[in-house]
Structure 1
Amino acid sequence: MRWGTLRLVEKAIKQVVPNGVNQLSARGAHDEVAQLLGVGGGAPVLAGTHKWTDAHGHVVEFGGFFITADRGVAYSYARE
């Protein structure tokens, strides 16, 4: 879906969501994540979160992910 869920959130709350932050960090996978990803405990992973907030600072969307060391990620942004 174009623009992901953010556009659906904006449509539902009838306002533009002006603020967002992505955080990425390399770390060792804790046991639960390691098991889910099929890697050993402590294996290197890229962990990421995104958080979008409205004009009042209320969180309207939050998500996270883990990526194993044999994968990559790329971001490109363009707002109309």
Structure 2
Amino acid sequence: MTLHGRAADAREASHLAIPVGSPILAGAHRWSDDEGVIEYGEWCLPPRMTIGYEYQP
């Protein structure tokens, strides 16, 4: 998974109902096996959004 903070472009701002240029957290994930990529996704979150997940090694 990759994450980075950046300014929202016009498309993202429209979908998130925030001004263009607002800070967002953007990310992409890739799940794969020995045969290649199973799933790829991109997403972005508006300011003040809290995220979390449980991790069990």
Same fold (TM over 0.5): yes
1:25-36 → structure 2 map (5 Å cutoff): 25-36=4-15
Structure 1: unaligned runs, 5 residues or longer: 1-21
Question: Is structure 2 residue 51 aligned with structure 1 residue 73?
Answer: yes
Secondary structure of 2:51's counterpart equals coil
Secondary structure of 1:35's counterpart equals helix
1:22-61 → structure 2 map (5 Å cutoff): 22-56=1-35, 58-61=36-39
Instruction: Calculate the aligned-residue CA RMSD, in Å.
Output: 1.4
Give the drift of 1:54: 1.1
Give the drift of 1:70: 1.5
Partners of 2:54 and 2:42 lie apart in 1 by 18
Rg: which structure is higher? 1
Q: Provide the identity percentage.
A: 32
Structure 2: unaligned runs, 5 residues or longer: none
Structure with the higher fraction of residues in strand conformation: 2
- What is the TM-score when the length of structure 2 is the normalising length? 0.86
